Structure 1
Amino acid sequence: MPESFGLTHIWTQGDAVTRLILIALIGMSVTSWVVIVLKALDVWKHKQSALSSEQFWHSTSLAEGLAVLSHRPDNMFHTLAQVGQEATEHHQAAQKQLHDRLDVSDWVTRSLRNCIDDHTSRLQNGLAILASIGSTAPFVGLFGTVWGIYHALVAIGATGNASIDAVAGPIGETLIMTALGLAVAIPAVLGYNALVRGNKFIIARMNRFAHDLHAYYVTGARVSPSAQANHPSHLAAAHVGH
Structure 2
Amino acid sequence: MDAATPGIGFGHFLAQADGVAKFILVLMAVASAASWYLIVTKLVSYARAKRRSSAFLDFFWNAPSLDVVAAQIEQKHPDEPFSHLVYHAIVASRHHERHGINRLNEAGSSSDFVTRTLRKTIDEETASLESGLTVLASVGSTAPFVGLLGTVWGIYHALVAIGVSGAGTLDKVAGPVGEALIMTAIGLAVAIPAVLGYNLIVRANRLTLAQLDAFAHDLFAFLGTGAKIDSAGGNVTPLKVSGAR
Q: In the alignment, does 2:209 pair up with 1:206?
A: no
Per-residue CA deviation, residues 199-219 of structure 1 (Å, 9 max, x unaligned), is: 011111111111111001111
Contact 2:53 2:83 in 1 (8 A): no
Post-superposition offset of 1:160: 0.9
In the alignment, structure 2 segments of 5+ residues that lack a partner are: 236-245
**Map of 1:74-223 to 2, 5 A cutoff?**
74-97=79-102, 98=104, 101-223=107-229
Determine the C-alpha separation between the residues in 2 that align with 1:202 and 1:123. 9
In the alignment, structure 1 segments of 5+ residues that lack a partner are: 230-242
Determine the C-alpha separation between the residues in 1 that align with 2:105 and 2:123. 20
Post-superposition offset of 1:60: 1.2
Post-superposition offset of 1:227: 5.5
- Aligned match of 1:64 in 68, 74, 90? 68
Post-superposition offset of 1:104: 1.6
Higher normalized helix content (fraction of residues): 1
Q: In the alignment, does 2:18 pair up with 1:12?
A: no
Contact 1:216 1:222 in 2 (8 A): yes
* Aligned residue identity for 2:88: V
Aligned length: 229
Deviates further, 50-59 or 64-73: 64-73
| TM-score for the superposition, normalised by structure 2 | 0.87
Post-superposition offset of 1:47: 2.1
Determine the C-alpha separation between the residues in 2 that align with 1:168 and 1:72. 63
| TM-score for the superposition, normalised by structure 1 | 0.88
Determine the C-alpha separation between the residues in 2 that align with 1:200 and 1:72. 25
Deviates further, 121-130 or 100-109: 100-109
Q: In the alignment, does 2:43 pair up with 1:40?
A: yes
Aligned pair in 2 of structure 1 residues 175, 108: CA closer, same or farther (>3 Å)? same
Aligned pair in 2 of structure 1 residues 14, 222: CA closer, same or farther (>3 Å)? same
Contact 1:141 1:179 in 2 (8 A): yes
Q: Look up the match of 2:240.
A: none
Post-superposition offset of 1:65: 2.8
* Aligned residue identity for 2:31: M
Post-superposition offset of 1:77: 1.1
For the aligned residues, what is the CA RMSD?
2.1
